[in-house]
Amino acid sequence: MTALFILKWMAAFSPILTVLVLMIFKNWSGSRAGAAGWFVALIAASLFFGAHPKLLAYSQIKGILLSLNVLYIIWTALLLYNVVNETGAIKAIGIGIERFSSDKSIQILIFGWIFASFLQGVAGYGVPIAVVAPLLVSLGFSPVVAVAVPAIGHSWSVTFGSMGASFQTLMAVTGYEYAYLAPWSASLLGIAAFLCGIFCVHVFGGWKMVRHSFIAILIIGIAMSGTQYILAVTGMWTLGGFGASLVGLLSGLAVAKLKRYNQTPPSKATSQMSLAWALSAYFILIVIVSSGVMIPAVKTFLGQVQLIFSFPEIVSLKGWVVEAGKGKAINVFGHGGALLLYSSIISFLVYQSKGYYQTGAVKAIVQKTIKSGVPTSLGIVSMVCFAMIMDHCQMIYILAEGISRVFGPIYPLISPWIGLLGAFMTGSNTNSNVVFGVLQLETAQLAGLSTALILAAQTTGGALGSMIAPAKILVGCSTVGLSGKEGPVLKATLWYGFVITGIIGIIALVFSFIS
């Protein structure tokens, strides 16, 4: 590589490095670090990558529109949490689950691994972390652990979750069908499922707890990864994440009854609200989200109104072309945020009919939602907007190209890291597949490698990137009172994300030699 390319690569990496250093080592909030990253991206794009006012303006408009998709989830997830919490239901859930199974590893696996994966299967967009984190806090876990566990636990199911949106994107940008891509993708993601389960437990109790829960992880992991593989390769990949987590839930409930996990006497704490009524909001959520995503007539009805904007082709001063196209559509009434809103309203009416609210509950719900939502929203917008600057000025592509140049002979080892990079920057495996899918395909063809394997590594890395994406960390922290204190969570998930991605890279390299 030439000195000029190295300089450009370092300039492209500078916004990411800024965010990582400020959040992890300086304990800056996501909003402050995001603003700093945005400023560094703006300077780097202008000095090294040919940014001009029109390009920057369009990138920021796209960034704001993309942020709205995420903010729709954040605000309605916060609303649902406060609707539930104001009744005392969160405390009741914690007491009820402890009476069902007081084994902390089982609690982590059921909520942080299985239920988070289920929510990813039907909703995505940060819903798993936003919903599960407060539930884990109610069970006595620290806020940092409560956010880190579902962030790690749900990531394996991202590619085939949200009705297979990320996998659909991978097929669209590469031109390959599911029959070619699904076997390798489901295989690597299945391995990732076990690793996510192991590290969900490790983040709380270390290797001692992993050894204690290994039988449970093995049984549940086989159930979920096996189900996802079967659904994916038989053409039902849209149900991959959803179906796998349902089978995992049944397996988890069965495993919880094993003698090994029932040695601790159940909690004697009591609550005025039964566990069934406390969980009713989440039952409502499951029914509404499942109906809105899986029933064609309902999905079509809710999807009639969409906000979408078209953008012209933009060329940087350095000749980088951003093709004309439409921005991310916002499905006003069928969006995951809308489904959360419906769940919040119905849950409020149900709880109110049972007399669970005290005077002034509505005011308290609104105030608490706003208090948590505002700082988180600022962080999301700044993070997404600087990612869009990088995307529109070739900076993300330069990063990936530099990595592939250095590690050409062992490219399968690096392929998942490129997917991870895309998801870290954009908060989305779908976007990572859009940005890097063709690059990975072309690199694999030039190197004479299996394109199916390399693209599987790409989307697996992109899925794992969900656990370290600052945008999603912000979502989870907002629901457990950690707004402005996201650094420790990112530090924890970053380590696990790197370890799992590294293992997937090694496995991909070994498979490439074998195949």
Structural domain that includes position 471: 3-514
Domain count, the chain: 1
Helix (H) or strand (E) holding 332, with range, is none
- For 81-106, the pLDDT digits (tens) are 789 888 988 778 767 766 667 789 99
- For 224-241, the pLDDT digits (tens) are 999 999 999 988 887 788
- For 238-290, the pLDDT digits (tens) are 778 888 988 998 898 888 888 888 766 655 666 678 878 888 887 888 788 77
Q: Looking at 20-34, 174-188, 466-480, which range is the least confident one?
A: 20-34
How far CA 287 is from CA of 123, 234, 292, in Å, comes to 12, 26, 8
Two tokens at 359?
Answer: 């005077």
Bridge partners, residue 311, by sequence: 325
Q: How far apart are CA 180 and CA 231, in angstroms?
A: 14
What percent of the chain has pLDDT above 70?
Answer: 94
Sequence-ordered list of residues with C-beta below 8 angstroms from that of 399, at least 6 positions apart, any chain: 9, 12, 13, 421
Q: How far apart are CA 395 and CA 46, in angstroms?
A: 11
What mean pLDDT do residues 156-163 have?
84
State the pLDDT confidence band at 506, using cuts at 50, 70 and 90.
very high
